[in-house]
Structure formats: C-alpha cells, structure tokens
A and B are shown apart, each in its own frame.
Chain A
Amino acid sequence: MAMLETKQLSFTYPDQKQPALDNVSLSVEPGEFVILCGQSGSGKSTLLRLIKREIAPHGKKEGDLFYKGQPLEKTPPLKVSKKIGFVFQDPENQIVMDQVFDELIFGMQNIGMETDEMRKRIAEITHFFGIHHLLKKETHVLSGGQMQMINLASILLMEPEILLLDEPTAHLDPIAAKDFLHIVGRMNREFGMTVIMVEHRLEDVLSFADRLIVLEEGRILKDGPVRQVINQLSDEKNHTFSYLPAPVQLYFHYSTNKQVEEIPLTIREGKKWVQQLNVRLREIPKKSVSRKQTIYSLENVDFRYEKRGDNILKACHLSVQEGEWLAIVGANGTGKSTLLKVMAGILRPQRGWVKVNGKMLRGTIPEIGYVPQNPKLLFSSDTIYEELSNQIPINNRDKGRKKLTELITFFNLESLLNRHPYDISGGEMQKVAIASVLLSSPKILLLDEPTRGLDPTAKRELGTLLKKLQEQNMTIVTITHDIEYAASFADRCAMMFQGAITVQSPTEEFFKGNHFYTTMINRMTRGSNVPEVITVEEAKEKWDLEEE
C-alpha cells in the first residue's frame, strides 16, 4: 500500500486564476526518498504543504490525498500530526523556544506526552544526533546548521513515518548542508523513513534519493528513478538543464555513448567516466589583462565588536581593482560579513585603514552601495514603487527619476511595482534591493550572500544582470558560500580564514590551487587524463574531444 498518494490534485490560491497545482497524481511508497524540484512558483511548496494538513494553504482544492490508503481528511488530526513531520526552509524562524531542550520537547508536549517518555526519547535522539553539547544552550546562540539539526530532531522525536522537507539547506553553508542531508539520508536508509524533499542543491542529495520529480507550472513534468529523470532532462536547450549538477551537465555535453546507468551522480562516478575521455586542449589566445587601477585597498584592518572580544578581522589585507568582480569565499564565522560591512563604511575598524580611490573611508559614502544578506531590512514602504522612489537622492530629483525608470526596465520590475516588498519571491526581493541601492549611483556594489535561497534560474538571472552592470564599469564584491557561483561569474576570488584573506587570485587559478575548497568539476578533472577545468563553461571553451 502506498504511504502517500495524491489523485488528480489541483489547487488554486484565492484571487488567482492560474492554479498552483494542476492535476497532480503521484504515489509514494514506504521508505522512498523523493526529491521534488522545479522553479519557484512551480507549486512544489504548495504540494508539500497540502500533504501537511495543519499548514495547508487556504484556497480551492480539488482531488484527493491519501495517507496509507485512507483519505487524509479522515485521518485523526493527532495521528497525522505525529506521523507526518515537516522541516521548513529558514532555520531560525522555525524555532519556537528560548532553550534547546524546550525546543526539542515542544512537539511532544503538544501531543500530550508524559515526562518520563519525553526524557527517554530525548536521551535516544541526543545519542543519535550527537548533540549533548547543545542541550543546555539557548537557541539563539546556535549556528544555522545546528538550528536546522535541532528542528529536525524536534520533529523526529514525534516519531514520524513521513518526513517532508522544504528546501531545508537553502540557508546553510555547504558544510552544514552536507551534514544535514547526511542525517536525513541516514534516517531513510537506517530507519526506512519515507522522505519527500524540495531541494535545489541536487548535487548533494541525488546519491541518496530514489526518485526525482520535476514540477513545472503546477504539473508533474517528469517523475521516475533519479537517473532516468536526469536522462530525460538532458536537452541542453531546456531551462531545466540548469537544475542538473555540474558533473551531469558535463556528462551530457561530452558523453558520446550516453547510458542511463553511467550518469555520474557523485564525483567518484564522474572521475571514472572522465577517464574514458580523450581530450585535447584547444589553443585559446590569452586574454590580455589590462592592469586596472586599484579602487579599494584595506591595510592591516582589525575589527572586534566588543571591547574585550576577539578580533573578528585580524590584520586583514585586500585590494580590489576597478571594474572587477571579486568573490570572497570561506566558511561561516570567518568574518566575511564583518569584512563587507567594514568595506561599506558601516563598521569602523579599530586598527588599519580602508581607502577608496585613494581616499580614506570614514563612514558610508554614496560611491559604495551595500546590499545586506537579508534585503527585508532595507524595506520600509508599502509598495515597491514607493520603496524605490524614496531612495531617489534629494539633491537630484530629475536625474534620479530617469535613473529609476531605467533600473525598473533593467531589472524587469514593471509587474511588481504595486506589490508589497514582502509579497514577492526571494529572487525578486534581491533585485529590488539592488535596484534601490543603485539609485544613488554607486561605483562599487557590495553584496552579502546574494544567491542565498534562490533557485538555479533566479541565480543565473541575477548573475547575468550583475555581469551587465559590470560591463558598465561597476566594481562588484560579493560574499558567497556558493563555490560554483563564484567560479562561474567572478573574475577573482579571495579566501577568508580566521579574520584575514589568505589567498586572492584570479578565479581559475584560485580554484585550481585549492584541494578541498573547489568546484565539483575541478575535483572531477583534477589528476585525471583530461585537462583540469573548474566549470562546465570552461570545459566547453577549452576542450576538444578526439574521436577514438
């Protein structure tokens, strides 16, 4: 009997003509690990929420949902509440309690469990997760990854049979994301838990999953075993191609003899396949790199938040050339965000200096535009149009208005102008935030983690837009966890470690010089018989396949 089944399920939000879900029929067997993917607005979150009855959206629903052969509506509420668990995207917002321990028992208290039973289950889960050291902490001191672990643990304590996860790693750094997915994979393998996960970061989950479902405009586009579905997405012209992990993309581009079982889901499989290739390096005329002027320079910068606190930045040196795109990468807690705030003039260093165009930076200046990690904290108006027009500098109204019209076209914001800044998608929010910062005509744009939580299409769009800005001689500095993104777009990369920049070099050199902190394609091609590359694009540019 299927664990979960939907039959001709359709759903339309109030005041919307287009249905969010259109005739979705699928059946999930016990113990299956299913990945749902698709663009934002494809209905994947709606589907997931409809399965979790307590948080189902309001609107018009047609069709049926079955849990173990029984209509979901008729299953007792307490039972479904226990048996279907849900992990949300934002690690921090899901937390309800001040203390980790209280957070863990929250769900169990809701279903009226006795103290002794709660104690027993907590003891078990603590061992399984290895979270003894967190039990006595307050929730707000945890890192994003730890928070998400606690959220998962709190749900597992209710002993669910089905685990629903809505982009659970979108806000985590790559290491924390891997740890999290690993635990979910273990729950599936070792306990046979049924898992349905919405996820964009396919590279880390494909090897765990049994089945991949692609949604588009509320319909099921593809549904089947992972490799088969991937094989069906192999058409490069289709936008769904960008969902595939880089090794898979490389495989489809170069494999002469495509075989479903051979599609590389892990680096190991990729390496094996790459060995079969016979590649000659194409001669590419070296691009003449014109020495540009240094626009930013940081010398010996120290910064700490508290008088007696640790230095977050320690003797940090960095220089940025005019018109380049610099990506600052590095793990969480290495001081990346602090560095960007120092560069924006928001924080003043205790030691050392920051120079912009040869002038000392003291406080914020109009030449520098800063976009924070969470664009929400920029917004204070009811509509996007109002939000943007409030940002027009007072001294030059006419020019500002002209600029506003240009930016609206550039970022394609026409249809959003009357919406509330909170009612749009993450990618759109990011664009509005950048547009509002650009209104004061900065020369340098500082972006803190701009791709966090965006789907691959939105990421690509943002990247292309920023590239266009760069062509207009904008200097761009981004902080990012997303190595693949940095590798595809940035001109230069810098690695942050313990409050200082350890390496900074042109992107290609940077990743080829790293052993662990590098792109998948680089890990796959390094030390193999094919020329080392870091992205699919680079391979396309440099590789010539020799027929055997």
Chain B
Amino acid sequence: MPTQSSFVTPATPMRAYASTADLAISPPSHREASDRARAVASPKDLRTEPAPVRFVIIALAVTFLTVFVVLPLVVVFASAFSKGISAYFSALAEPEALSAIRLTLLVAAISVALNLVFGVIAAWAIAKFEFRGKTFLITLIDLPFSVSPVISGLVFVLLFGAQGYWGTWLQANNIHILFAVPGITLATIFVTFPFVARSLIPLMQEQGTQEEEAAISLGASGLQTFFRVTLPNIKWGLLYGVLLCNARAMGEFGAVSVVSGHIRGETNTMPLLVEILYNEYQFVASFAIASLLAMLALITLVVKTVLEQRLDEGQTPRDDPRDH
C-alpha cells in the first residue's frame, strides 16, 4: 500500500536527528500490519524458518530493544524516584522547574500553532498546484531535517546576536530576541517546521483535487471547500503531524541551547534544565524533569499508534471500477 509507506517518509529523517523527546518513538509498525494481513490470507505457512531460528531472531530483537530503549527509560524513572516520591514531587515544584515547564509549554504551543498553519499552507501549495520552483520548495521544507540543530540555532545568533546583522538595531530599539522567549520560539519553529507539511503532502497528493473541484462546482466558497472537504479529509494526517511536531518542540535541545542563553528561571526549557541540573549533580531533580519528557514520549507513542490506525482506516481503497 503506497499510502502507508508514504507515512514512513517523515519518520525516517526524524530518527536520524532524534533528540530527547523522540528518542523513544519507534518507526511506524506498518510491517507488522501487513504481516498480520498475510497471515490471515494464507494461514498455512509463510514462516518457513524453523522454530529455533525464529526464537533466536525474536530474542535478539527483544534484547536489543530492552538494552537500548527500555533500560534507559527504566533508569530515568528509577533515578527520579531514588529518593522517594516526595523528593520527586518537590523537585518538580521548584520554581526553576515550574518556570522551565511553563516555558516549554508556551514555546511548544506557539510553534505548533504556527507550524500547523504554515504546514497546511505549504502542503496545500505543493499538493494541489503546479508551479515553477516546486521541487525547490519541497527541498526547502526538508532543510531543517538535514541541518544539525546546532547550526539551526547559530543561524539565529548570526541574525539577531549582538554582532549579528540586525543586532545593533534590535539593541537600539530595546527588542530582545536572542536569549529570550522569541529566540527560543523561532529556533523551535525552524526545527519543527517539516513535521506537519511532511505528513500532509503525500496524503494530499494522493487525494488529488477532484473533491475540491466538485465542491466548488456545487457553489462552495474557498473557505467552505477547505473546512468542509479538505480539512475533514486530512484531519488524521494533520493530527499525526501536529503530534510529532509537538513532541519535537518540547524535546528540542540543540537549537534551543544555542539561542537560550541559559538564564535560570527565565530561558531554560525542560531539556536544558535537565542538562543543567545533571551537571550540578542534582540527579533526582534532573531525572524528575527527564521523566516528564519521557512520559511525553510515551503518550506520544500511544496517540501516534492510534492515529496511524485511523489513517489506515481512513484510506478508502482506490476506486475499483469492477466492484459492482
């Protein structure tokens, strides 16, 4: 099924640049689904491997996952609770921790909202129109995936820093972008831009423009067409993109670290605070914050699985003329 594999596309580059939040996100498990389907289709046997071989392969996979994914997660939670539950919660109740949580939520809310709008617009343009430079635009959308997050942060330092292009002017007008919320938000938007657009483009391309044309010929305005026809058709894909975008926005470390300035209680996001606390040997506090990020990852994982199921269900089989 082409639609399934197209949804793997956005996930692939993400893994290469995994940061704290999406470390725990495994690539979509479409393979399993198709295997299940095959097993139903011919229950006899496609599993030609003898039982011991199968056992070894499965054991290897499970061991690998345990060592590299489950164990670290367990360690995070174990360390967070090593001094007891009250220590855990008092670490989270620290003003610094609360400020980091607030900042992370704020930045994620702004960047997800903006990327939702930009992503839909970009995907719409690419999927529904033909224009010169389209390939270039697609490449541009992928740029944040292919650039190291540190570089993404540095770009903003070059633009807005004291020695940067607009630094002097900004200082003169008392506008704070770098080492403040706007800078962190900009860096996060940059890094997370591709998620929404990337998850929508294949979906919208596959759906084509005919339903929109039908809506317009029936008298619908542009907005009516978008909200009544286009949006319902892409809603699961859109949620999927938003979910991944949010996970990355909350977990982003590299780019944010460069532009944040690490002002305690002001410009530290959760991932930054985790590092700072760890470097100061405050292990319980550090892992307590980390455990929140890990939980975010786990929730993301669950919701993502549900969304993927919805997406698969939402794909009506391509109109078969001979299905009378």
User: A and B bound?
Assistant: no
A: residues with CB less than 8 A from B are none
**Chain B residues in the interface with A (C-beta under 8 A):** none
